């Protein structure tokens, strides 16, 4: 089974699905939704099979496929997945069906084609899978950029308030980063001896100056994508304007491309430059944690608030990556997964609230828990996951990031730990202002606000809640997959974990 071309099939399948959905008769939007959902479930099923066939103690890159593409430039269609990519692929496969289900009625309010909405979601899935599955820098870049297009239309055509501005800002901002990366990709191609094969490039020695420039090109693109402070301002706009499902994918998966890119490309390809830049990256991550959390406290719009929380979380991921320890690195990758689940859930729930109220402003809510206890409960749960309460998955990742960082850089870890206090502040204040307190009298007049979670919505949130809890108590299956890849990455960078200051305790007692 491991000879099966999982990655290329996974990449192409959603695209085919999108074509099918678009070609369905326009009069039957329901059919389009069902087909889209079915298709995404198929992808999920295949991903599960792939997950099972992945050998934890096997090669770093598995499921490798390579087809010649542009021989003149030494560019190939090369797909391969390491543990990090595998986890992200799994996240995509899980999130997309849920997002499709959650967006069941979202597109109808926009007066635009319903099938196209779902087709765009599938196209987005294709590009997202491609970007994580690529093992050729050129191919990665291709998916990295193309990914913008479906998301642009999802935000621009189906979004809410200020969608045009947000869509253009999202696209341009990302494109700016992408173009810097293009320059770096070209540069890498030149210094790498006219190949862009990832594995080959890891062996290439680059002179210090060049390496730093190339690193910066890549890093800038990823920092914008992730986004890190101070390149973050597009995310609240995009997240605020995007339909909830698309926002969940945007923040849950799309942005992870940035952090994934740093792990997969910046660190192994430019190890020296990564070390050189690490203090700055740590500083950016740290500022992001504190700054974005404070901003989240001050937001008046639910979706913008969630976007800012994500920026804070990306700060944690950034710190985890650039701490260069196994724990922090594994924590960062795990964080990418957990944040996708938790914030995806948060976005979807917030979307359900907003869809009912017809407004995303926090002040338009108030005491909503009385009307919809279940929805309020799920919102609270998502909030808890977001503030990394033990028992929810993000706790493990945040803990790993912090503890791993602490072993090498105490001040950074200590300041980052302050972020967990702020996280409690923004989550609880948001929960308080929306679902607690005296009931906003306007709400009782809105019929939709009396409807608690429907069966469809329950089906959407249940798997996410279950996963968040499961990974909160038993993260080992995932950490075991991530760990070898992270260790290999740390080896690429040439960093080893520091020994405990008082050694030999463990050996003595175990």
Partner 1 sequence: MTELKLPSIDYAALSPILIMLGVALLGVLVEAFVPRRHRHLTQLSLALVAVLGALVMVVFNADERLVTIGGAIAVDGPTLFLQGAILVLAAMALLLIGERSVERGGAFVAQAAVTAESDDDRRQAEGSNGATEVYPLTTFAVGGMLIFVAANDLLTMFIALEVFSLPLYLLCALARRRRLLSQEAAMKYFLLGAYASAFFLFGVALVYGFTAGMPDRAAGVDFATVHAAVKDSPASPVLLFAGMALLAIGLLFKAAAAPFHVWTPDVYQGAPTPVTAFMAACTKVAAFGALLRVFHVAFADAAWDFTPILGVVAVLTMLVGAVLAVTQTDIKRLLAYSSIANAGYLLVGVLAPTGAGVAGTMFYLAAYGFSVLAAFAVVTLVRDADGEATHLSRWAGLGRRSPFYAGVFTFILLAFAGIPLTSGFMGKFAVFGPALESGQAWLVVAGVLTSMVLAFPYLRVVVMMWLSEPGDSTPTVTVPGGLTATALMIGVAATLVLGVLPAPLLDLATDAATFVR
Partner 2 sequence: MDHILTYAQAEPTGAVTYAAASGLLSSVWLLVAIPLVSAAILLLLGRRADRWGHWLGVAAIGVAFVLGVASFLQLRGLENKSVELSLWDFIAVGNLRVDFGLLFDPLAAVFVLLITGVGFLIHLYAVEYMAHDEGRRRFFAYFNLFVAAMLLLVLGNNYVMLYFGWEGVGLASYLLISFWYGRPSAATAGKKAFLMNRVGDAGLAIGIFIMFATLGTTQYDEVFTGVGGLAGGTVLVLGLLLLLGACGKSGQFPLQAWLPDAMEGPTPVSALIHAATMVTAGVYLIARSNPIFSANATLQLVVVSVGAVTLLMGCLIGAAKDDIKRVLAWSTVSQIGYMFLGVGLGGGAYALAIVHLLAHGFFKANMFLGAGSVMHGMNDQVDIRRFGGLSKYMKVTWITFMMGWLAIIGMFPFSGFFSKEPIIVAAFEREGWTAWLFGGAALLGAGLTAFYMTRLFVLTFHGPKRWTEDIEHPHESPKLMTIPLILLAIGSVGAGFLLATSVPDWLTATAGLGGQTEGHEAVLSHVVITVLSLLVTVLGAGLAWMLFRAGTATEPQPAGVLVTAARRNLYTDAFNEAVFEKPGIFLTRALVFLDNRGVDGLVNGLAAAVGGGSGRLRRLQTGFVRSYATSILTGALLVVAAFLAVQAGWLA
- Smallest distance, partner 2 to C-beta of residue 178, A: 16
Closest CA to 53 of 103, 121, 6: 6
Q: Interacting stretch for partner 2, rule CB under 8 A, among 130-138, 230-238, 244-252, 277-285?
A: 230-238
Residue 26 CB coordination number (10 Å):
12
Q: Given candidates 15, 20, 46, 186, which one binds partner 1 under the rule CB under 8 A?
A: 186
Nearer to partner 1, 176 or 425 (CB): 176
Q: Which is nearer to partner 1, 126 or 302 (CB)?
A: 126
Which of 102, 129, 148, 412 is close enough to bind partner 1 by CB under 8 A?
148
At its nearest, how many Å lie between partner 2 and the CB of residue 353? Answer: 16
Specify the residue for token string 């990655």.
7
344's CB contacts (< 8 A; 6+ apart) are 95, 98, 99, 248, 249, 251, 252, 464
How many beta carbons lie within 10 A of that of residue 31, not counting itself? 13
Residues near partner 1 (CB under 8 A), total:
34
Shortest Cβ 76–partner 1 spacing (Å): 11
Is the CB of 44 or the CB of 241 nearer to partner 2? 241
Residues 396-435 that bind partner 2 (CB under 8 A): 396, 399-400, 402-404, 406-407, 410, 413-414, 417-418, 420-421, 424-425, 428-429, 432, 435
Q: Which residue of 193, 391, 411, 494 would you call a contact of partner 2, by CB under 8 A?
A: 391
Q: Is 325 in the site for partner 2 (CB under 8 A)?
A: yes
Which is closer to partner 1, CB of 145 or CB of 255?
A: 145
Q: Which of 19, 48, 190, 448 binds partner 1 (CB under 8 A)?
A: 190
Contact 319, 286 (CB under 8 A): yes
All residues at 6 or more sequence positions from 311 whose CB lies less than 8 Å from its CB, including other chains: 227, 228, 229, 232, 235, 236, 288, 292, 295
Q: Closest approach of Cβ 465 to partner 1, in Å?
A: 35
Determine the Cα–Cα distance for residues 440 and 53; give it in Å rounded to an integer.
52
Name which of residues 463 to 492 contact partner 2 (CB under 8 A). 473-476, 479-480, 483, 487
Radius of gyration of the chain (CA): 22
Site for partner 2 in 275-314 (CB under 8 A): 291, 294-295, 297-299
Q: 10 Å Cβ neighbour count for 312?
A: 26
What tokens appear for 269 in the block?
A: 């390809």
Residue 225 to residue 199: CA distance in whole angstroms: 24
What single DSSP character describes residue 79? Answer: E
**Residue of 7, 13, 36, 142 interacting with partner 1 (CB under 8 A):** 142
Task: Compute the least distance from the CB of residue 190 to partner 1, in Å.
Answer: 5
| By CB under 8 A, residue 16 contacts partner 1 | no
Nearer to partner 1, 167 or 401 (CB): 167
Q: Within 10 Å of residue 457's Cβ, how many Cβ atoms?
A: 22
475 binds, among partner 2, partner 1, none (CB under 5 to 8 A by kind): partner 2
Kind plus residue range of the DSSP H or E element containing 47: helix 29-53
List the interface residues with partner 2, window 235-254 (CB under 8 A).
Answer: none
Residues 153-182 within binding reach of partner 1 (CB under 8 A): 153, 156-157, 163-164, 167-168, 171-172, 175-176, 179-180, 182
Residue with smaller CB distance to partner 2, 47 or 310: 310
In angstroms, the CA 14 to CA 89 distance is: 13
Q: Which is nearer to partner 2, 363 or 476 (CB)?
A: 476
Contact call for residues 65 and 80 (beta carbons, < 8 A): yes
CB of 75 to partner 1, least distance (A): 9
Q: Choose, by CB under 8 A, the member of 12, 37, 41, 183 that binds partner 1.
A: 183
Report DSSP letters for 226-258, one per residue: TTPTTS-THHHHHHHHS-HHHHHHIIIIITHHH
In DSSP notation, 204-218 reads ----HHHHHHHHHHH
**In the range 153-172, which residues lie near partner 2 by CB under 8 A?**
169, 172
Site for partner 1 in 43-102 (CB under 8 A): 68-73
| 57 three-class SS | coil
CB nearer to partner 2: give 11 or 299: 299
Residue 69 contact partner, candidates partner 1, partner 2, none, CB within 5 to 8 A by sort of partner: partner 1
What SS3 state is found at 64? strand
CB atoms within 10 A of CB 2: 11
What is the C-alpha to C-alpha distance for residues 232 and 221, in angstroms, rounded to an integer?
A: 12
Residue 361 binding partner 2, by CB under 8 A: no
CA triple 59-129-272, angle to 5 deg? 55
Rounded-to-integer distance, Cα 368 and Cα 174, Å:
37
What the block records as the tokens of 94 is: 């899980």
Retrieve residue 46's tokens: 């295949």
| Residue (267 or 269) nearer to partner 2, CB | 267
Exactly one of 159, 227, 258, 369 binds partner 2 (CB under 8 A); which one? 369
Sites of contact with partner 1 (CB under 8 A): 68-73, 112-113, 141-143, 145-146, 148-149, 153, 156-157, 163-164, 167-168, 171-172, 175-176, 179-180, 182-183, 186-187, 189-190
């Amino acid at each position: 089974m491991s000879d099966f071309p999982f990655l290329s099939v996974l990449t192409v399948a959603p695209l085919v699905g999108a074509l099918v959905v678009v070609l369905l008769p326009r009069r039957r939007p329901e059919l389009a939704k069902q087909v889209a959902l079915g298709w995404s479930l198929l992808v999920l099923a295949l991903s599960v099979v792939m997950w099972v066939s992945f050998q934890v103690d096997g090669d770093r890159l598995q499921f490798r496929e390579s087809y010649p593409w542009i021989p003149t430039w030494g560019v190939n269609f090369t797909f391969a997945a390491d543990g990090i990519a595998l986890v992200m692929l799994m996240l995509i496969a899980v999130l997309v069906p849920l997002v499709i289900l959650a967006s069941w009625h979202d597109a109808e309010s926009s007066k635009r084609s319903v099938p196209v909405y779902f087709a765009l979601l599938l196209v987005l899935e294709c590009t997202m899978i491609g970007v994580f599955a690529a093992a050729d820098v050129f191919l990665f870049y291709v998916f990295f950029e193309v990914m913008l297009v479906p998301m642009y239309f999802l935000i621009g055509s189906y979004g809410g308030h200020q969608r045009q501005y947000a869509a253009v800002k999202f696209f341009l901002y990302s494109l700016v980063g992408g173009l810097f990366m293009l320059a770096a990709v070209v540069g890498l191609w030149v210094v790498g001896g006219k190949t862009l094969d990832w594995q080959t490039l890891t062996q290439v020695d680059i002179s210090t100056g060049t390496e730093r420039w190339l690193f910066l090109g890549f890093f800038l693109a990823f920092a914008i994508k992730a986004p890190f402070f101070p390149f973050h301002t597009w995310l609240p706009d995009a997240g605020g304007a995007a339909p909830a499902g698309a926002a969940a994918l945007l923040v849950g998966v799309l942005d992870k491309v940035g952090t994934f890119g740093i792990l997969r490309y910046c660190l192994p390809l430019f190890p020296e430059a990564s070390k050189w830049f690490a203090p700055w990256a740590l500083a950016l991550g740290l500022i992001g944690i504190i700054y974005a959390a404070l901003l989240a406290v001050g937001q008046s719009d639910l979706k913008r608030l969630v976007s800012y929380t994500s920026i804070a979380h990306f700060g944690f991921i950034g710190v985890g990556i650039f701490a260069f320890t196994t724990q922090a690195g594994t924590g960062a990758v795990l964080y990418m997964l957990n944040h996708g689940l938790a914030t995806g859930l948060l976005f979807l729930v917030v979307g359900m609230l907003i869809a009912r109220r017809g407004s995303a402003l926090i002040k338009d809510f108030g005491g909503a828990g009385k009307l919809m206890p279940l929805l309020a409960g799920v919102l609270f749960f998502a909030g808890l996951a977001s503030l990394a309460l033990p028992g929810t998955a993000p706790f493990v990742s945040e803990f790993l990031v912090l503890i791993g960082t602490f072993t090498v850089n105490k001040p950074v870890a200590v300041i980052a730990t302050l972020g967990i206090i702020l996280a409690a502040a923004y989550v609880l204040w948001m929960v308080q202002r929306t679902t607690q307190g005296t009931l906003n009298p306007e709400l009782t007049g809105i019929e939709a606000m009396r409807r608690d979670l429907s069966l469809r919505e329950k089906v959407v949130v249940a798997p996410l809640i279950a996963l968040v809890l499961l990974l909160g108590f038993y993260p080992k299956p995932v950490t075991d997959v991530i760990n070898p890849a992270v260790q290999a990455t740390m080896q690429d960078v040439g960093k080893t974990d520091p020994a405990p200051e008082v050694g030999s305790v463990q050996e003595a007692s175990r």
